[in-house]
Amino acid sequence: MKIGLYPGCSLTGSSREYYESVMAISKALDIEIVELPDWNCCGATAAHNLNKELSLSLPARNLAIAEREKLDTIVVPCAACYSRLSVTQHELHENPELKSRVAEILEMEYHGTSKIINVIQFFEQFATEKIKEKQTKPLGFKVACYYGCLLVRPPKILNFDRPEDPQSMEKIMKSVGAEPIEWNYKTECCGAAMSVAKTEIVGRLSGDIVEDAAERGADAIIVACPMCHSNLDMRRPEIEKYKGKKLPIPVLYLSQAVGLSVGLEKKELGILRHFVKVDLPEKKVEVKEIKENKAEIIVT
């Protein structure tokens, strides 16, 4: 089965390492991913503030391409892109007249039939058993799973996990040997697109997130959004200035963490591109046995 991939702008630019890790882990798990040909920007955080029809036409064109290519499922690793494609599909389904208008603008057929999933759902639906089979280096450290705003909201449209206390990422991390912590900021905003215009806001919001994860004993923060990663990783100087202390806790994409557990190297997962050095604790971890679709992990 071919799964469509909509990378969006971030994964081909500022978050290139996210793209590298998604492709590397898909190859390692023998999952066939096909990038949408001639895809375009989805409008992300700006278009829906400027022009309604444009904000729907941009993501709708990508969905129309997926239908044309007969790709029934599209994985969208970027949380902002995932939100825009999902909201567009919902709005056009609820408004047939607007749907027809958008199809006219695109000069393409659009039916809204492709299933849109984020990277967490991708692992849940297509990789659970494969990860278990391929796992060679279970992770032996504590993690803070950070969802941010756009993976879980608006809940009535996305219908993905609990909006205030999601657990999907925690389940995946447990399956690869990590220990998710309980903490307060897993769905709080990191400052999102304020990263350039209002860097001090990002320093404050992201600072609270990073500090709480570190103080609760996490060895790494796990994310599934390029904007969240950028703010928590690249803006660490602003975060440390706001907090008045060093916070060296690294930030990993979910795809990178899973990749490490199946023996992929840091370089092929793009981890060496991070601003905050990823220096994870070395612990002796052994997969004792597989029981009820779970790996029983022994950490010493």
pLDDT at residue number 200: 94
pLDDT at residue number 1: 80
153 and 262 housed in the same domain: yes
pLDDT at residue number 193: 82
Q: Which of 89, 119, 149 is the endpoint of a domain?
A: 119
**Domain span including residue 207:** 135-299
92 and 209 housed in the same domain: no
pLDDT at residue number 251: 98
152 and 227 housed in the same domain: yes
Give the model's confidence band at 291: pLDDT under 50 very low, under 70 low, under 90 confident, else very high.
very low
Q: Which of 93, 119, 145 is the endpoint of a domain?
A: 119
140 and 90 housed in the same domain: no
Structure tokens at 87: 């909201």
pLDDT at residue number 78: 97
How far, in Å, CA of 86 to CA of 284, rounded? 42
- Domain total for the chain? 2
Any domain includes 80: yes
What is the side-by-side order of every strand in the sheet holding 179-180? 179-180, 142-145, 220-223, 251-253
Question: What mean pLDDT is predicted for residues 133-140?
Answer: 95
Question: What mean pLDDT is predicted for residues 167-185?
Answer: 97
DSSP annotation of 36 = P
Question: What mean pLDDT is predicted for residues 10-18?
Answer: 95
pLDDT at residue number 287: 57
Please state the pTM of the whole predicted model. Answer: 0.93
- Residue 194's CATH number: 3.40.50.11810
Residue 197 clears pLDDT 90, i.e. is over it:
no
- Residue 94's CATH number: 1.20.1050.140
Question: Which residues in the chain belong to E strands, given as ranges?
Answer: 3-5, 33-35, 73-75, 115-117, 142-145, 179-180, 220-223, 251-253, 285-291, 294-299
Residue 110 clears pLDDT 70, i.e. is over it:
yes
Question: What mean pLDDT is predicted for residues 31-47?
Answer: 92
Higher confidence at residue 285 or residue 184?
184
Q: Which of 119, 154, 189 is the endpoint of a domain?
A: 119
Any domain includes 124: no
21 and 104 housed in the same domain: yes
42 and 151 housed in the same domain: no
Residue 295 clears pLDDT 60, i.e. is over it:
no
144 and 17 housed in the same domain: no
Give the model's confidence band at 288: pLDDT under 50 very low, under 70 low, under 90 confident, else very high.
low
Burial 106-125 (b: 16+ CB within 10 A, else e): bebebebebebbbbbbbbee
According to DSSP, the β-strands at 285-291 and 294-299 are antiparallel
Question: What mean pLDDT is predicted for residues 223-229?
Answer: 97
- How large a percentage of the chain has pLDDT more than 70? 94
pLDDT at residue number 49: 74
68 and 142 housed in the same domain: no
Higher confidence at residue 24 or residue 284?
24
Any domain includes 209: yes
pLDDT at residue number 222: 98
Could you read off the pLDDT of 262-285 as tens digits, one per residue?
A: 999 999 999 999 999 999 987 655
Any domain includes 129: no
212 and 160 housed in the same domain: yes
Could you read off the pLDDT of 115-131 as tens digits, one per residue?
A: 999 999 999 999 999 99
Tell me the one-letter amino acid at 291. Answer: K
Any domain includes 128: no
Any domain includes 127: no
Could you read off the pLDDT of 79-105 as tens digits, one per residue?
A: 999 999 999 999 999 999 999 999 999
Residue 297 clears pLDDT 90, i.e. is over it:
no
Any domain includes 162: yes
167 and 280 housed in the same domain: yes
Nearest to 116 by CA among 147, 92, 140, 144: 92
Higher confidence at residue 203 or residue 285?
203
Any domain includes 170: yes
Q: What is the mean pLDDT of the chain?
A: 93
92 and 8 housed in the same domain: yes
154 and 180 housed in the same domain: yes
